[in-house]
Structure 1
Amino acid sequence: MENLSDDLLMEIWSRVPYKMTVRCKSVSKRFSAFISRPEFMSRSISHYHTLLQHMNQEQHHKEWCLNFVSKRNLLIVFLPKLHLLNPQSQNQLSLSFLGRKFDPKLDDERKKSALYSRIVGYSNGLLLCKKTSRGRVYHVTNPMTREWTKLPLPPPPLTGHNQRDCVFEGFVCEPFYQVEANNVVTLNSHNRFRVVRFPWLNDRVFSHTPKFEFEMVVFSSETGQWCRKTVSCPKGFVQTDILIHAVAHRGRLYFMGRMDLLVYDPFNNDAHQCCHTIDYPIHSPYPRDLPFTGHVGVSCGNIRIANISCSFDPHVLNTMTVWELEYQDDSSCCCWHLVHKTFIPGQDRRSCIRPEFETRRECETVDLGMQVRAFHPHHGDVVFFQRSHSIFCGNLRTNQFDTVGYGIHGFQVLQIISIDLPGWPAPVPSIT
């Protein structure tokens, strides 16, 4: 193949899955330099998206896999058949290169909850991880290429170094590439990211009082430093009583509150324009319970929120509602649109507990009923649920619900992150 022209190599290698292509870098210096060229990456991404457009929803629905990266971290990885990974193979994603706490074989499930590892966020192919749930050591990594970078320590909590670090966290990264009309690919070699720490204002007296001004601690990949920012929220915002990570979408972070969503743009330095709130759907029966019974995520390119009016009786049907956030043409106004309202069958709690855990103490199997854990990013009818240890996949249009796996821990401990793998892995932005 050394005698082939660059044009012919471009036609051949752009049709080869990424992982196989990377392996060929070691064949020769010419191949290594050729595969690293922006022109080749653009051609490979364009070919990938052309094939993706010809795939129907049914094929998308089938292509996902459950991927444990630690005892308490489960990834739902979405990947079409043409992707670089095969869900039927043993070649699943792993974060073991970050240490034993991200290795399911070495992670100790019996350690205290404050010591287990967490995935803080996922955005455009990159994960933000930390080795302890209450720690301040962050790693930004690409699980496909195993590249990672360690962030400097953020400022200590205002309560002091020895106090528990209670913050709402978020991670957002700019996309490495954009596919425009006619599959024209534009690479963004200077993609930036932000890590946001939103201190929990756990004041027992004023915890339910709206705050119109609060502090965000933000890390910038361009400066390589953390900074404290005071932001204003015109309508006010009340935090939840549980720490829920923010959802990243189109450069913004969505934090769940008691009565509404807080939308924060960490790339906007205007303290009066970077933050606003969106009320929960007015038809939600119990809006104050949404942080506990609901789920916010992204499906079909839009923010969605789901809620279950749950019954603990397995013979009673649960009401499931899903709303989608729609923006107007000027992107300044938005409204909720009901996309699903259906009844899902109840599940017997005893059948949702793994047999080896039935003899454990009660706190290991706290039953919170059916909970929505993830949306399918491409198939708007598919939702993932959990009750106790059991994980279900349900189609809200056909009302078909199947048990697809088991977690080691229940809802209060097991973390489920859905990731939609891009056509070409994003490099981890360098910290200047």
Structure 2
Amino acid sequence: MEDDNPTADDADHPQNHQITYSRRKKHNSQSPQIIPDSTDSSPRISQSSVLWLLFFSHTFTYDIRNLPDSLLLEIISRLPLKSIFRFKCVCKHWLTLISQPSFSRFYFSRILTANASSSSVRFRIMYRYVYVSKFKDVLDRFRPEIYNSSKFSVLFLSSFEEQQQSDQFKVLAVSNGLVLCCLLGPLIYYVCDPVTRQWVTLPRGRDKSSNTHPIFFGEGFVSRINEDNVLTSYTVVRVELVNVRTNYLSLEVFSSETGKWVDYKLPCPHPIGLMKRGGSPISFNGILHWFVYDYGMVAFDPHKDPKSCRLIQFPEDREVETDYKHEGLYRLCDECQGKLRFFEVAHDSWSFYCFSMWVMKDYEKGEWCSEFKVSRCDLSTSDPELNSWLRKATFLPLCFHPFDLDIVYLRCVELACVVSYSIQNKRLDVASRPIGVDDELTWRLVVPFVIPRWPTPVPIPPVPKKVVKPKVAHRHYRSHKVYTRF
């Protein structure tokens, strides 16, 4: 990302605000040609002729400072995001204009209006694991250029050859344009903005202690934005893995406002067992939900005081035995357009209902409402190959479309492809044939990644103050520093 601050020369010299064309002589030049168009009897001037006329026209000067701000905003807001931030360096006025919160609001409203009338898809289903040696190489896999295509795809961030390497990063969660990643062994967390390529390294938590060695997993990630779409803070939550059922939820919470990890041990109304293969928790209204056996989910609000947790049951008429036996492989529970949805797929071809879905009707009471139940005979597709497998194919849910309540994405195991299911039309279509094949491709291994519409500066956590201990004879203490990297 280029420097957002204009140089002194660019900002102070008035000639930078002017566009000047001057008359020059050119030997052996040809006069402009009128090129007739075969489809139109009216004469047209070629592009080279227009440039020739401009080149040889009388000198004129236009001061772009006379351009109204309203017109300037209309022009700049239609440029690519990278160009917009480059144009901050044109002059101080442009820097101020683009940096104002009102410009980001205007940019957002225009993008939302354009997307409402466009069928382009601005997100990808992203494979969680990245096999590279350094975190800056992870950022290279998020280059905005790779998302320019409007076609849907599953984005595999690593090639098959790279997956043979020992270094391994994992994409844990996304929130308001920020991405939470970690390096596996040793466990190091990173928060980054893939557009600006800014990133910070979080300090180590309790796992750095030599006395206790807890195992943490199920990292959750939530962030807050203000009315001007400016991100103000973020919170990372991770739970301690316990091999037995317990009446407590043990977790650690990191806040960008304090720069510290804080331990919590919250009582639960019933003994719970966290699903080890549950993946990252789902976020709904800023509340994190981890999947547990028997009950459904345990919820924790990191911004609510006093800290507490609650149990939320899944729909009672779901396939309980299948959900328990396959550890949630055939169900998908996530937020979509402000709604908490539970989508279930039959694990065998002889089940009467193939797809079922429930929507949370009352979150405080934990009440679900059945939306539909569809049999295989109701399904249709225009793809010949998929049609031949329609009555016996195995489908695994992946994710909901983040902008369209009608679309659910699933993996067809037999064809090794991703299909989109239209709830309204009961129609299946091949959405993407993945780059590479992963036999374990499920919602646990993918995360829907929405292309950020506007850069999200990463809030920099404060560095905790170093505790000065009194000197003790014949002993030396080393200070431990926490570094924040960009």
Q: Tell me how far 1:29 sits from its aligned partner.
A: 4.0
Correspondences of 1:361-372 after superposition (within 5 Å)? 369-372=394-397
Cα separation, 1, equivalents of 2:314 and 2:208: 30
**Over aligned residues, Cα RMSD in angstroms?**
3.8
Q: What TM-score, normalized by structure 1, do the two folds share?
A: 0.73
Residue 30 of structure 1 corresponds to 93
* Matched AA of 1:392: V
Residue 332 of structure 1 corresponds to 364
Which sections of structure 1, spanning at least 5 residues, go unmatched? 75-83, 95-101, 178-185, 353-367
Q: Indicate if the aligned counterparts of 1:254 and 1:264 stay in contact, CA closer than 8 A.
A: yes
Q: What TM-score, normalized by structure 2, do the two folds share?
A: 0.66
1:298 aligns with 2:338: no
Correspondences of 1:28-427 after superposition (within 5 Å)? 28-52=91-115, 54-55=116-117, 59=119, 64-65=123-124, 86-88=148-150, 104=158, 108-111=162-165, 116-132=168-184, 135-156=186-207, 165-174=215-224, 176-177=225-226, 186-187=227-228, 189=230, 191-202=232-243, 207=244, 209=245, 211-259=246-294, 260-271=296-307, 274-286=308-320, 287-289=323-325, 291-311=328-348, 319-327=354-362, 332-344=364-376, 369-388=394-413, 389-403=416-430, 404-406=432-434, 407-411=436-440, 415-421=445-451, 423-427=453-457
Q: Tell me how far 1:89 sits from its aligned partner.
A: 8.8
SS at match of 1:410: coil
Residue 355 of structure 1 corresponds to none
| Structure 1 residues 55 and 152, CA gap change in structure 2 (3 angstroms) | same
1:141-171 deviations in whole A, cap 9, x for unaligned? Answer: 122222211111121188967x684422111
SS at match of 1:35: helix
Q: Indicate if the aligned counterparts of 2:252 and 2:262 stay in contact, CA closer than 8 A.
A: yes
Cα separation, 1, equivalents of 2:211 and 2:428: 48
| Structure 1 residues 400 and 19, CA gap change in structure 2 (3 angstroms) | farther
Q: Indicate if the aligned counterparts of 2:203 and 2:260 stay in contact, CA closer than 8 A.
A: yes
Cα separation, 1, equivalents of 2:151 and 2:69: 32
| Structure 1 residues 316 and 110, CA gap change in structure 2 (3 angstroms) | farther
Q: Which has the larger radius of gyration?
A: 2
SS at match of 1:25: helix
* Matched AA of 2:445: Q
* Matched AA of 1:409: D
Cα separation, 1, equivalents of 2:198 and 2:72: 27
Between the two proteins, the alignment pairs up a number of residues equal to 368
Cα separation, 2, equivalents of 1:410 and 1:160: 39
Cα separation, 2, equivalents of 1:301 and 1:269: 23
Q: Tell me how far 1:322 sits from its aligned partner.
A: 1.6
User: Greater CA deviation, 408-417 or 397-406?
Assistant: 408-417
Q: Indicate if the aligned counterparts of 2:127 and 2:446 stay in contact, CA closer than 8 A.
A: no
Identity of aligned residues (%): 22
Q: Indicate if the aligned counterparts of 1:308 and 1:321 stay in contact, CA closer than 8 A.
A: yes
| Structure 1 residues 154 and 412, CA gap change in structure 2 (3 angstroms) | farther
* Matched AA of 1:370: F
Q: Indicate if the aligned counterparts of 2:217 and 2:241 stay in contact, CA closer than 8 A.
A: yes
Q: Indicate if the aligned counterparts of 1:247 and 1:254 stay in contact, CA closer than 8 A.
A: yes
